[in-house]
Amino acid sequence: MLQATNKKKGSWILFVILFFVNIGFKEVIRFLEVNDFLLEGIFVLTFISLMIFFISNTYQLKNILWLVVLFYFFLLFMSFQNLDILKVEYGLQKVFLGLFVPVLCIIVFNRYEWDDKSVLKYLIISVSIISIIGILYKLKGGFFDRSVSFGLLGSIPFGWVNGMAFLSLVLVREKSFKQIVLSLFFLTMIIWTGSKGPLLGVVLVCLIFWNRVLGKKVSTKIIVFSIVCIAFFILLIYSDDIRSVRMIIDFLADPEEYSEGVGKGSVGTRQEYIATSWKLFLENPIFGVGFGGWQSNFTDHKYPHNVSMEMLAETGFVGFVFFLYLLFKLKYKKIIAYVGLYGMMTLLFSGDFSYFRYAFFPLLLAYVSNDNTKL
């Protein structure tokens, strides 16, 4: 019994460490970039990683692993379609962070026995630590100053992970009062960031799985519905003071005016990025402009803030279909998979392919799970 307890403790500690590694490995890349070791480091880590993949391969990962490795090599090849060494390095960064890091984390974590309920719990613990660090950091650096980072993460990734924790709680059919209160905390964290993407993604997922959000018990349905109504009216009343809510309402009221006015710096710019991506795809429909090559059209930005348009523009029809096929081969019947789908939704509003690790990690967790417990 003691040995089982120790394994369980080790399991959640390992998950927290791997979760931090998955979202924070970009800092290692930045270190390599500063010291000009990036290109060499990527190649060394690539070959080592592939050896680890095959040596540590498990039954659950066998089928998806081959597909990931093929996609990995395809994106490496597409990175070298760029003539500029900086664009090559940027492409290698994205494929390394977006694919290798989450797969390696899953291989390590999969050595432990776990169930879906435990993984959701570990995810909530991990995000709680990040949120507490963020609150303490912001108290010192500027609590409502969005330009100040939220501790370990910027405002948008901070909103992403809190959205993941929020959904891990509200999508469970049988909710305790403690879970409802904790979910409100994570929702507050999302709103606090002032980022529209994480909030919009949460709203969309909750609408899709509305029956899950309301829960099974009549008492839970009444409590959740009452809280939603109260929160809705509070957000409407104070919408002028809440950045993300105000911007979403303004955009829904008049998309064109918002995009050309207040939202020109975010929504308007993203519309321009998407239009450029589509143009690049039409000019290079088969293989795109090269993985990491989108930035050739802009001097101030590297990616279009939409992972689908990024794949279309940089890898063409072939890469986009490869990407969709990889997603299609995963499993989507668990809450942790819904969390991964939320991650994919947020990548339609912000981030580049390197941030695919935020979505790919929970999707892989769902794939390797043999737990059929219905939550």
Strand pairing partners for 153?
150
Whole-angstrom CA distances from 313 to 149, 297, 304 are 31, 11, 9
| Tokens of residue 24, six digits | 């924070």
354 burial level (CB within 10 Å; 0-12, 13-18, 19+): buried
Considering just the CA atoms, what is the radius of gyration of the chain in Å?
A: 21
End-to-end C-alpha distance for the chain, whole angstroms = 26
Question: In terms of C-beta distances under 8 Å and separation of at least 24 residues, what long-range contacts does 130-136 make, across chains too?
Answer: 130/158, 130/161, 131/158, 131/162, 131/165, 131/185, 131/186, 131/189, 134/158, 134/189
Spell out the alpha helix ranges (H) of the chain. Answer: 2-24, 26-34, 38-55, 62-79, 85-95, 101-109, 116-141, 155-170, 177-193, 196-208, 210-214, 218-237, 243-253, 255-260, 267-283, 307-328, 335-346, 356-368
* pLDDT value of residue 244: 52
Every domain of the chain and the residues it spans: 1-112, 115-253+330-337
pLDDT tens for the chain, 375 residues: list them. 334 444 556 678 899 999 999 998 887 767 665 545 455 566 656 666 665 666 555 566 667 888 888 898 899 889 888 777 777 888 888 988 999 899 888 888 877 777 888 899 999 999 999 999 999 998 888 777 777 888 889 889 999 999 999 999 999 988 888 998 899 999 989 988 888 889 889 989 988 888 888 877 776 677 777 777 776 666 665 555 455 555 655 555 555 554 444 444 466 688 888 988 999 999 999 999 999 889 876 657 889 999 999 999 999 999 999 999 999 999 888 999 999 999 999 999 889 999 999 999 999 999 887 666 566
Phi/psi zone of residue 194: left (φ > 0), alpha (ψ -120 to 50 degrees), beta?
A: left
136 burial level (CB within 10 Å; 0-12, 13-18, 19+): exposed
Strand pairing partners for 355?
none
In this structure, the number of other CB atoms found within 10 A of the CB of residue 84 comes to 13
DSSP letters for 145-210:
-TTS-BTTB-HHHHHHHHHHHHHHHHTSSS--HHHHHHHHHHHHHHHHHT-HHHHHHHHHHHHHTH
* pLDDT value of residue 261: 46
* pLDDT value of residue 131: 96
| Tokens of residue 187, six digits | 């929702």
